[in-house]
Chain A
Amino acid sequence: MTPEQYQRLKAVYAAALEVDTDQRAAAVAAACAGDDDLLNEARTLFAFHDRAEVFIERSAFAVGAHLLTKYDNYSLSERLVGHYRLIKELGHGGMGAVFLAARADDQFRKEVAIKIVKRGLDSEETRRRFRHERQILAGLDHPNIARLLDGGATEEGLPYLVMDYVEGLPINQYCDSHSLSTTARLQLFRLVCAAVHYAHQRLVIHRDIKPGNILVTEEGTAKLLDFGIAKLLDPQLAETIGHTATEIRLMTPEYASPEQVRGEEITTTTDVYSLGVLLYEILTGHRPYRVNSRRPDEIARAICEQDPERPSLVVSRDARSSGAHEGSQTKKPFNRSHNDEPAGLKRRLSGDLDNIVLKAMQKEPHRRYVSVEQFSEDIRRHLDGLPVLARKDTISYRTLKFVRRHKLGVAAALLVLLTVLAGILATARQARVAARERDQARLEKAKAERVNAFLQEMLSSADPQKQGSSVKAVDLLADAALRAEIDLSKQPETLAEVRRTIGNTYVGLGLFSQGEPLLRQALESHQQLFGMEHPDTAKTLHDLAELMRGKGEFAEAENLFQQALAIQRRLAPAGDLATATTLRNLGAVLLQHGKTSESEAPAREALAMTRRLVGNNHLNVAIALSLLGLVDEYRGNLSEAEKLYRESIDVFRQLGHAKALQTLVMMNLATNLTSQKKFDEADGIFRSAIELSTELFGAEHHNVAIVMTHYGRMYFLKADYRRAEEILRTALQIERKVLPAGHSESAQTLVTLGIVLTKNGKAKEGEEYLREALVIRQQALPKGHWTTANVTSMLGECLTVQGRYAEAEPLLLAGYEEIKAALGEKHPRTLEARERLPKLYEAWGKAEEGEKFQN
């Protein structure tokens, strides 16, 4: 029955009640007006109408009320829940009660805490929260987090959780009752940070950090409790839980962050904030906000608008009024060891600790510490007497704004370290070699050393050994950028150089949008410091151009390279290595931009200039040779290209370093041999390239995946589709793991796998990959680029195989035209795209249409 039918039934019912009982049957029939179903329903309803007279007339309220009193009177104590006997109630909250319990069958009587939903409160919402908390706790195993031991439902179906029983005091009370010194308090607090950080790494945000949820045992072990309103960051695991408004009310408002109060997005920095409030209280014995009302809205306003007093100020007021009557409702007993008397405490807190606490408690999440780990680390620096990140009047926090969390592990952090160091060494070396004057060289070297020293300190303070396997490259870089703003504010030259280096490191990691503001700032500083006509300005222009090239903004990149080149040519008319590098990269971007013939001249000049300056045995020579190889390759001069690649690889072999680049040139050579149908030779080179790159980066690295993609492509061209599918699936698997979704580097793999699957009779699956690749290419490349057109054409083939001819035709035609326009009539890609057309028309039964595409 639908609500509409029920309303019609109600109308019939009302109409029938209007008449006397003996006329009711007739009235019902009349009201139903020939609707037989309705008539049946109405008749049945009236059949029960009279019998229902006494039905549920006596209210059940009284028995319910009686049950209500009985339930809480007959306490759960001494009852068995699962394998546990309840001993006493420890406390209760919004959702349920927590009991002390012991294993019934355990002679050692190991004590546990059991959280049970209270009867009458077991709404669907509460059950969901319990399930959620259980799910979260099950994933956490840390010495400073109360463990989940068991869970289930009581015989009445009330859900319960069994957890470690922590016998201890809330952290603030523990500190006071043990008269801990400030240092001891900080060390204890860092244990709490470790637990919260651990949870964050497992994508759990606690959201309700407060003294009552952090108990400290007699042995001094801190345990984090109550993940009742925790949030899972992983959307795949997270169950939709409640409503933001609910969470605010479930948590203690004094510790809520502004974003929680406002119902805005919750991130790990929300816990940073609450930890800041907690540290404030542990250090001063006061809550940070002075609110005279207990109204939630007053407290919320204070949280969002009031600036907390500096901790040292709060304790100095204590010092003045000590012994006098205290009016503040936040005042609690606050005991210190002898060396932390109020006046001493003020000195202890002012400066670093004030700044650290207030940085954690910033109203805007992006101005806080980016992670709990960073927060804790800053406390360690303070304890070790090192400079801290938190400063009172920092010059700029803008750099923090572009920090976004990226899941890059230790490997990436090490890569950063290597890149940075390599950059510094190269700077120093180039400075030595290219210097026109000894003084200049010394100056360059000194600058490089200062940058080096700064970054060394930065990176050594984030030694992965010390912090466990959790160093995030991006956090490191953000720290470095921030530190640079602070520490180098009086050394603008070094600051600009550090910005440039960090910006380039972001570029190396493919994080272009993070790198761009740094490089632009560096460029601006260089222009102001030295003017346009200066090697540093030119170098930064070049770096910014490289960034644009990475982003795929080729026109902008070309423009910037030209600007840099013009300056460099004026400064060093005879040419130098920096000029050669700019020339080479200009050639590269022209090639990428589809300006194949224009790219040859700068590439050749780069090669000649480098050889003239430093001889043949130089990285720049190797790269320029391979670039020229690509130019020939793009023109269809395959054997010329082969020769250049081989020459390039010879240089790499003699150099003995830059093996990563060497694998890429080897891959180019193997690909070239594939195009020449020299499959066996190609196979061997592919294998050694994969071997070398696995040796360098490990098996799960995108560089390995790139080579494998081309290797798979060779089998595709050899028409060994089974083997191709196998290799390409492995490559894609690696890429899915190590590259963010939609990364331009996975496009090649997707395309090739897509077409291979089409050949293997799995066109439907192949179509998915091809479409994914098409989207990536369209976003990454300028409109009408031939590699995009190539995907369009392949998608056409895939649709042809599926018999979707009308959809395939426009794709095949457009693809072919665009490739032809970019690469010319004779290019292998053009020919491939062209061959697909007659196949379509033949399958479609329009063979005559295809004739004009036959040779």
Chain B
Amino acid sequence: MSDETNITQLLLDSQLGDKAALDELTPLVYAELRRLAESYLAHERPDHTLQATALVHEAYMRLIDQTSVSWQNRAQFFGLAAKMMRRILVNHAEAHHAAKRGGHAQKLSLDDAVSFFEEEQVDLLALNEALNRLAALDERQSEIIELKFFGGLTIEEVSEMMSLSPATVKREWNMAKAWLLKELS
């Protein structure tokens, strides 16, 4: 079965709110993102020089028969990529946490992801939970956080993706951040 046809079909389904289809889409997107991330990172240091939007967009272009998919699918695709990043990072943090408890911290001490969150002073596991609580109160705000923080989009890109004005996105982003920081304190 060709992946192009399949992923278009799946994405059209997920537009209809089929959460299960989204779950299935994940491995395909995952594989493509991994492949691209590898080539993007092949000669770079793993810092924020990585162009998230370009990477995800390329993955999207490769996976989708562009002509038969509407604009909203693209937004959804970015949403999916952001969710995936969030999940990967959270899983990693959980594993690290478990290993530390089990006394294997040494094995994991040289870890870019761990040092990133330490530098940024973010407790990722706590943030993840607070973000879940936020989603229950205001889904749009939690999506904005997801797209920007985990998905690597800029305010402008998020506004384009969600069909909102940049000013609105900025205001939502700032309020959500304040609320999350309060929750983490």
Contacts and interface: CB of A to CB of B under 8 A. Distances in A.
Given A55-B181, A94-B27, A296 B1 contact: yes
Interface stretch (A59-67, A641-649, A700-708): A59-67
Contact of B89 (A6, A48, A52, A67): A67
B148 A68 contact: no
A61 B85 contact: yes
A45 B1 CA distance: 52
Contacts of A69: 34, 37-38, 41
B23 A125 contact: yes
Contacts of A10: 138, 175
| Residue of B23, B102, B185 contacting most chain A CB atoms (<10 Å) | B23
B69 interface: no
Interface in A98-130: 118-123, 125-126
Interface string A49-77: 10110011011111111111101100000
B21 to A, nearest CB: 7
Contacts of A1: 137
A62 B89 contact: no
A554 to B, nearest CB: 52
Contacts of A243: 18-21
A58 B138 contact: no
Interface residues of A, number: 56
A848 interface: no
A122 B122 CA distance: 23
Interface stretch (A176-184, A244-252, A277-285, A788-796): A244-252
A120 B84 contact: yes
A56 B41 contact: no
A125 B20 contact: yes
A13 interface: yes
Interface in B149-173: 149-152, 171
Nearest to A94: B27
Q: How large is the interface on B (under 10, 10 to 19, 20 to 34, 35 or more residues)?
A: 35 or more
A295 interface: yes
Contacts of B2: 294
Contacts of A60: 85, 89, 116-117, 124, 149-150, 152
A6 B145 CA distance: 17
Contacts of B27: 94, 118, 121
A775 interface: no
Nearest to A246: B20
Given A56-B127, A94-B27, A249 B10 contact: yes
B35 to A, nearest CB: 9
Contacts of B21: 243, 245-246, 249
B47 A68 contact: no
Nearest to B53: A61
Given A59-B152, A60-B116, A49 B122 contact: no
B113 interface: yes
Interface in B1-44: 1-2, 5-6, 9-10, 13, 18-21, 23-24, 26-27, 30, 33-34, 37-38, 40-41
A44 interface: yes
B74 interface: no
| Residue of A14, A62, A71, A94 contacting most chain B CB atoms (<10 Å) | A62
A246 B24 contact: yes
Contacts of A468: none
A7 B41 CA distance: 42
Nearest to B151: A61
B120 A58 contact: yes
A14 B145 CA distance: 18
Contacts of A52: 174, 177-178, 180-181
A352 to B, nearest CB: 35
| Residue of A61, A157, A295 contacting most chain B CB atoms (<10 Å) | A61
Nearest to A3: B137
Given A61-B150, A62-B49, A56 B177 contact: yes
A47 B113 CA distance: 29
B23 A68 contact: no
B138 A67 contact: no
A699 interface: no
A55 B175 CA distance: 12
B46 A66 contact: yes
B91 A119 contact: yes
Interface string B120-137: 101010010000000011
Interface string A226-256: 0000000000000000110110011001000
Given A56-B120, A58-B48, A63 B174 contact: no
| Residue of A47, A56, A64, A119 contacting most chain B CB atoms (<10 Å) | A64
Given A13-B175, A45-B178, A56-B177, A123 B87 contact: yes
A51 B116 CA distance: 19
Interface of B: 1-2, 5-6, 9-10, 13, 18-21, 23-24, 26-27, 30, 33-34, 37-38, 40-41, 46-50, 52, 55, 82, 84-89, 91-92, 94-95, 98-99, 102, 112-113, 116-117, 120, 122, 124, 127, 136-138, 145, 148-152, 171, 174-175, 177-182, 185
20 contacts: A7-B138, A46-B178, A47-B182, A48-B182, A51-B181, A56-B127, A58-B120, A59-B48, A60-B85, A64-B89, A65-B46, A69-B41, A120-B91, A122-B87, A126-B23, A243-B20, A246-B24, A249-B10, A250-B24, A296-B5
Sorted nearest first, the 9 A-B pairs with minimum C-beta distance are A61-B152, A66-B46, A156-B95, A64-B85, A243-B20, A246-B20, A65-B37, A62-B50, A61-B52
Given A59-B149, A242-B20, A249-B24, 12 more contacts: A3-B136, A48-B181, A56-B145, A58-B48, A59-B48, A59-B52, A60-B149, A62-B152, A67-B88, A67-B89, A72-B34, A156-B95
